[in-house]
Chain A
Amino acid sequence: MNIIEGRCWKFGDDISTDLIAPGRLFHLRSNLPELAKHLLEDAKPGFYEKISEGDIIVAGINFGQGSSREHAPTIIKMAGISAVVAKSFARIFYRNCINVGLPAVMVDTDKINEGDILRIDIAKGILEDVSSGEKFSFSPLPETMMKILAEGGLVAYIKKNGDLIL
């Protein structure tokens, strides 16, 4: 999991959970594979059909603002996205990403273009835009979150430890 490589799909600022997992599809929350087919469709029509396994979502500031719905990062992962990269994340969404085992990386995304191939080294904190050759460094996650992410998420972490221990 430490090295992730994939193609960039670019989104703007303030992408809400209502855009990621629309509220009008509330009835699909217990049918996540079906909900995943509607991922970000109100922001980028037909997005799910265009994704290849391992692709990376890249956005501006405040990605994931809004609802606490963990379904949002869950369907991003389920759709085959390997990481989300943004200038900044909304708090609940960010923690949910780690809990569902979806790497969330904070760097300045202005110079990254849609279609670029990105390589992310989670442990070293380096994102390389292979297409442009540009490298960006990011702060590693706090130890607690790194441990949860390394297990693949909070469910696996609790199953392994049987308790919440830091």
Chain B
Amino acid sequence: MRNYYIFKSGRIKKQDNSIIFEYTEDGVEKKIPIPIVDIDSIYLFGEIDINNKLINFLSQNNIMIHFFNYYGFYTGTFYPKEFLLSGDLLVKQVLHYYSNKKRIELAKEFVLGAIYGAILNLKRYKEKIDNEIDELQNLIKSIEEQHSISMIMGVEGNAKEIYYNAFPKIINQKIEFKKRVKNPPDNMMNALISFTNSLIYSSVLKEIYKTQLNPTIAYLHEPSTRRFSLSLDISEIFKPIFGDRLIFTLLNDGVLKQSHFDKDLNFAYLKEEGRKIAVKAFEDKLNTTFHHKGLGRVVSYRKLIRLELYKLIKHLMNEEKYRSLNFWW
């Protein structure tokens, strides 16, 4: 099973027990059959026609579709009906949100995980940076003292600021990056961060779907927004390792250059070629395997997301305290 990323424009439809991607190239109509059992989820970057027959078929097979707009900006996800449900766990997930103490405990872990990842990334470029690592380590110490979600969010904001300040020192290419700006991003770096973040968010969402966790009930982020907030919570942990590390490599190795961004739009958007490069690198990263000491078996980086969710489930069941991922390599 794998993710299918469709960049071309055309039409996807159900045919028998498969789906067919139809598109026209140089005036010639082409059809690509994709076996349904091979699809994990579908990412649509092109202008694609779909119908309800296809949606029903994908839903029956528990397959998500992630939509991106013309600029490669994440639009949303078709989330098929739940197939793994546990009433007991849902109640406990809600109770952990409802109790301020319990909620804060989890929110702290997500921020901790994010800072661990940031520190780990900075350590790889020790000679290029100043005292960012020490500053982040001080923030870690201060997390314990925070006693409200907004205060924890504040620590997270400070951590991000320190961390992002180090980016221009790390990157070989001359880039303009002073501040993280979203909706829309305002330069190359912000465009890349937004793009990889959306890939991480959708990957986490897909893993959540394959557990009994409810994606709307979150702890660091407010569940009241339109998004699947739990996916945002968990994404925080994986952004530095899956996203930022990728960005450093792609830019420092010159694989991604200014020419991959849309000049007319202030380099704020990746062009198709650039998106393909980033998506390919992201997939390669997530499919890379390593020996997981705790499990005593070889797992993919993608699997780390699921394992994190399992740890969260055990926490919610009051079985084992959740401790966010702290990389040992």
Answer yes or no: do A and B interact: no
Chain B residues within 8 Å of A, Cβ to Cβ:
none
A-side residues, CB < 8 A to B, are none
